[in-house]
Amino acid sequence: MAELLIIGSERSEAGIPAAMEILRRGGSALEAVERGLILCEDNLADHYVGTGGLPNARGEVELDASIMVGSSRAFGAVGAVKNFPNPISIARAVMEKLPQHALLVGQGAEDFADSVGFKRAELLTPEAKELWLQQLRDVPVQSIEGENTKAMTGDVRYRLAAIELVKKFAPHEGPWGTINIIARDRSGEIVCGVSTSGYPYKHPGRVGDSSIPGAGNYADSRYGAAACTGRGELSLRGGTARTVVENMRHGMSAEDACFEALKDARNLPDDFRAELRCLAITADGHHGGAAGMEGSTYTLMTESSTQPEFRPRKALL
């Protein structure tokens, strides 16, 4: 019988203790990951996931999420979903209830969620709206290089300002808000889940790495599982989660596998001084993580933990 294990990204501690309780009671890694991420999505103090997530450039909260089962490599995901508080559950339903499909986006994903009975909800909390507006009021429109912004219509100025904001937000301090949870249950099954509201002021319709297998999420029970947070466009381009798992397949530790995958992604040209982070577990239950900056951590609970522990990630710089 395998030892129980859960790791998660920064702020996953809102859901990991309940997820470990599920494993201790004999529940599956799939159930544990979904439950852990639901609690993170419902955490109103968290502005990077679920209800209370910071909205896109149009002021709408759009969510991405995915879940992957290591033994079968079954995968379910949704992207750019509005008005449903728990995209991780819709992602699971895509995997389990929709033959042949792995990823639904936008209106189609919302129609599917209605059809399987998920409840709609308002995701933009007053606090998230105020944070969004406050940054928008501070936009230095005149800083848009080479453009006579005064002569433009409000609509065009607004969109340019939103693009400026995307640039401003990209390198902000502290962890990007996406949440990863990876769990291993008694049977040795490994499941990896990812949920996010993406980055604030993103272009409407933007889907990041959290919904894409091999980019932000990958699980293969033979070798392990990995997930990413941070600039999703980099892990989309680098195939980062799959690279981590491939590195572990070739014998690297979880930490080295993450570190090498981040080094590869860091070499991609990127105007936004992006930071990417990843974490992983091996098939035999070793774990590790890496990040672009010092002081980053991931969260861990084992069978004997009484509370989440924080472990350092290996820093690239």
Q: Applying CB under 6 A, which residues contact ligand GLY?
A: 178, 196, 198-199, 208-210, 216, 228-232
Instruction: Name the residue nearer to ligand GLY (CB basis): 96 or 270.
Output: 270
Residue 199 CB, nearest approach to ligand GLY (Å): 6
Residue 211 CB, nearest approach to ligand GLY (Å): 8
Say which residues have a Cβ less than 8 Å from residue 262's Cβ, sequence separation at least 6.
240, 276, 277, 278, 290, 291, 292, 316
Residue 214 CB, nearest approach to ligand GLY (Å): 14
Q: Which of the residues 51, 178, 196, 240 is marked catalytic?
A: 178
Q: Which residue is nearest to ligand GLY (CB)?
A: 232
Q: Which residue in the block uniquely carries the two structure tokens 């080094």?
A: 263
Residue burial 19-56, b: 16+ Cβ < 10 Å; e: rest: bbebbeeebbbbbbbbbbbbbbbbbeebbbbbbbbbbb
Instruction: Name the residue nearer to ligand GLY (CB basis): 208 or 288.
Output: 208
Please say if 178 is a catalytic residue: yes
Instruction: Name the residue nearer to ligand GLY (CB basis): 23 or 57.
Output: 57
How many angstroms separate the Cα of 118 from the Cα of each of 28, 53, 84, 113, 135? 22, 19, 7, 5, 32
Instruction: Name the residue nearer to ligand GLY (CB basis): 201 or 283.
Output: 201
Residue 76 CB, nearest approach to ligand GLY (Å): 17
Say which residues have a Cβ less than 8 Å from residue 60's Cβ, sequence separation at least 6.
82, 124, 204
- Which residues are the active-site residues? 178
